[in-house]
A and B are shown apart, each in its own frame.
Chain A
């Protein structure tokens, strides 16, 4: 079984996000980069399935050479090899990323293509779904449990949806997007980190993938920081709290 995982590098989720002085972009001076948390869940699930079903896990990421460090961190966790599609970060929207991944799918023909449910920078939550549509594949988004049958033909996926948990069955090949409760990602062991340095990262560009149309469908025009909430007060007692709620906020 071959499993592809779309693995994105993002700004550390705990970093304080602020704009550059000219407000043209997010200030990346002195920020740390990490793998998108949802992509870590996607990779972990892929590794577990590969261990059980004798499979191979391949990472795919789109971006410049500076994302190799994050890709290597994914390789250290157990992926066999990686493909990086060379593209300038700033000229990417989720749709172009999806067209890139659909093209990579055609080269690799995996049984499962895993994505994170959303990238915590764009918060777009659409790349996996778009890939599924471009390829005419079934999808299971927001997965919190994935079970592959013994023949490796059907994935039974539990999805976290508003109002409960929904279970659907997909005939492979299929696209699955990972939610955070899917699993607990493992940590890399030192020897594996050393080994990861020797694993292959194949670099492809848009020409290799026959992608000519690089026009963005959604373009960023400007960014702003939301107006901060006016600082409130600390109340000294519950009587004061109830009084303010009743007479000031009129919330009772």
Chain B
């Protein structure tokens, strides 16, 4: 019996780091945790998690889980929750957890705390609302509670040693009226936005898609950074894929360094980056709201400032 069940997030047999933020939350909740790994050919993910202190690692490894669909993943999670007896069912708050966790909550009559950013006294949870302009403390009135974890607000748990036992879990997926067709992956050599130490993001001030990359690519190179963008950019320029959007309705990041180039700083954008450790903003408008959250603001034309910034960063190292 563990108090918590963590559903690991993986992609192509690789563990997603956000899962370790979920482990961190589980450690804060206390009472011990089990892990569920779902997928096809995911033995390596289970092994990678063995040193983190889980009581047990359930593995639902089957071709039906090869491509993600909400209902089979829900079925596996419900089965693992029964097996482990967990009170809390926890996963990441990216599009993975957001998609199937509510179904888990519905299936077991649990309340769901979405985007949990911390715990509060008395078994309460903290979560943002209104694009992060309000932090709510909420109480779950149900026996079991489903939680999606905003990974940027938790450190990644460190290994504690030992070797958690692995147990195969068989799952009755039932009939599913949904079928996987295709996946068009965003190809990038760069680190993932939500996992990078440095994120450089560009806004509409960068004129058009090709110009965006001409400015942002060399900047990302010098910091080995992930590249983000505003909604204005991903909406209008085909060269910039949607999953680069940072903000309330895109990805939430909190890197060590965030460089905002030609971004005005709308509240919806700030919601996705304002908890970064150090924020740099380059904007030609001295009144741009982005300067209210920037540690270091430079009022300048990005097309001149960014190349010079790159050269001087190189020289300073």
| Residues of A in contact with B (beta carbons under 8 Å apart) | 11, 13-14, 16-19, 26, 38, 93-95, 98, 117-118, 120-127, 129-130, 132-134, 137-142, 144, 156, 159-171, 174, 179-181, 215-226, 229, 231-235, 238-239, 241-246, 249, 251-252
In the complex, which residues of chain B have a beta carbon less than 8 angstroms from the beta carbon of A179?
249
A137–B129 touching, CB < 8 Å: no
B243 touching A160 by the CB < 8 A rule?
yes
Assess the A123–B130 pair: CB atoms within 8 A. Answer: yes
Known: A19-B134, A139-B178. 20 other contacts (CB 8 A): A16-B133, A117-B249, A126-B101, A126-B102, A126-B105, A127-B102, A133-B105, A156-B181, A162-B95, A163-B186, A164-B185, A166-B184, A168-B178, A168-B179, A168-B180, A218-B138, A223-B135, A229-B279, A243-B316, A245-B296
Q: How far is the CB of A187 from chain B (nearest CB, A)?
A: 18
Asked whether, in the complex, the Cβ of B112 is within 8 Å of the Cβ of A218, the reply is yes
13 A-B pairs (CB sep. < 8 Å):
A13-B268, A16-B133, A120-B130, A123-B130, A138-B176, A139-B99, A164-B183, A168-B180, A180-B249, A217-B110, A226-B135, A241-B298, A245-B278
Give a binary string over B88-120; 1 marks a CB under 8 Å from any A CB, 0 the rest.
000000111011111101110011111100000
Find A244's partner among B110, B137, B293, B296 (CB 8 Å cutoff): B296
Q: Choose among B70, B137, B180, B296 the residue that contacts A241 (Cβ–Cβ < 8 A).
A: B296
**CB proximity of B280 to chain A, nearest CB, Å:** 7
The tally of CB-CB contacts under 8 A between chains A and B is 255
Inter-chain contacts of A134 with B (CB < 8 A): 106
Most buried by B among A130, A141, A218: A218
Contacting A at CB under 8 A, from B157-208, are 176-186, 194
The answer to the question of B142 belonging to the interface, with a C-beta cut-off of 8 Å to chain A, is yes
Smallest Cβ-Cβ distance to A249: which chain B residue: B278
Q: A232-B296, A251-B256 are in contact. Are A125 and B98 (CB under 8 A)?
A: yes
Most chain B CB neighbours (cut-off 10 Å) among A17, A19, A243 = A17
Q: A140-B178, A169-B181 are in contact. Are A234 and B298 (CB under 8 A)?
A: yes
Q: Which residues from chain B contact A26 at a C-beta distance below 8 Å?
A: 130, 134
Q: Is the CB of B256 within 8 A of A242?
A: no
Q: Would you call A223 and B136 a contact (CB within 8 A)?
A: yes
B178 touches A133 (CB 8 A): no
What CA separation (Å) do A18 and B267 show in the bound complex? 13
Residues of B within 8 A of A120 (CB): 130-131, 248-249
CA distance A19 to B180 in the complex (A): 44
CB atoms of A167 and B181 under 8 A apart? yes
Tell me whether B83 is interfacial, beta carbon within 8 Å: no
Which residues from B are CB-within-8-Å of A159?
A: 95
Q: Does B303 contact A (CB under 8 A)?
A: no
B interface secondary structure, majority: mixed
Assess whether A218 is in contact with B139, with CB atoms less than 8 Å apart.
yes
In the complex the two chains form, is B297's CB within 8 Å of A234's CB?
A: yes
A32 to B308 alpha-carbon distance, docked (Å): 44
Number of interface residues of B (CB under 8 A): 88
* Interface hits, B70-86 → A, CB 8 Å: 70-71, 74
Whether the Cβ atoms of B139 and A144 lie closer than 8 Å is: no
Chain B positions within 8 Å of A, measured between CB atoms, are 11, 68-71, 74, 94-96, 98-103, 105-107, 110-115, 124, 128-142, 176-186, 194, 231, 234-235, 241-243, 248-249, 251, 256-257, 267-268, 274, 277-280, 286, 291-300, 305, 308-309, 312-313, 316-317
Q: Which of A118, A161, A246 is close to B249, meaning CB atoms less than 8 Å apart?
A: A118
Question: Which residues of A have CB within 8 Å of B105?
Answer: 95, 126, 130, 133, 217
Q: Which residues of B contact A238 (CB under 8 A)?
A: 298, 300, 305, 308-309, 312
Contact B242 A169 (CB under 8 A): no
CB distance from B2 to the nearest CB of A (A): 22
Q: Judging by beta carbons under 8 Å apart, are B134 and A17 in contact? A: yes
Q: Bound complex: CA of A122 vs CA of B308, how far in Å?
A: 43
Residue of A nearest to B100 (CB): A129
A235 near B178: Cβ-Cβ < 8 Å: no
In whole angstroms, how far apart are the Cα atoms of A251 and B103 in the complex? 41
Instruction: Establish whether residues A162 and B94, one from each chain, have CB atoms under 8 Å apart when the complex forms.
Output: yes
Shortest distance in angstroms between A31's beta carbon and chain B's nearest beta carbon? 11
| Measured CA separation A37–B24 after assembly (Å) | 34
Q: Are A180 and B248 CB-contacts (below 8 A) given A120-B130, A126-B114, A235-B297?
A: no
- Please tell me if the beta carbons of A171 and B134 are within 8 angstroms of each other in the complex: no
In the complex, are the beta carbons of A144 and B248 less than 8 A apart? no
Of the candidates A14, A133, A170, A239, the one whose C-beta lies within 8 Å of that of B312 is: A239
Closest beta carbon of chain A to B211's beta carbon, Å? 20
B81 to chain A, nearest CB (A): 14
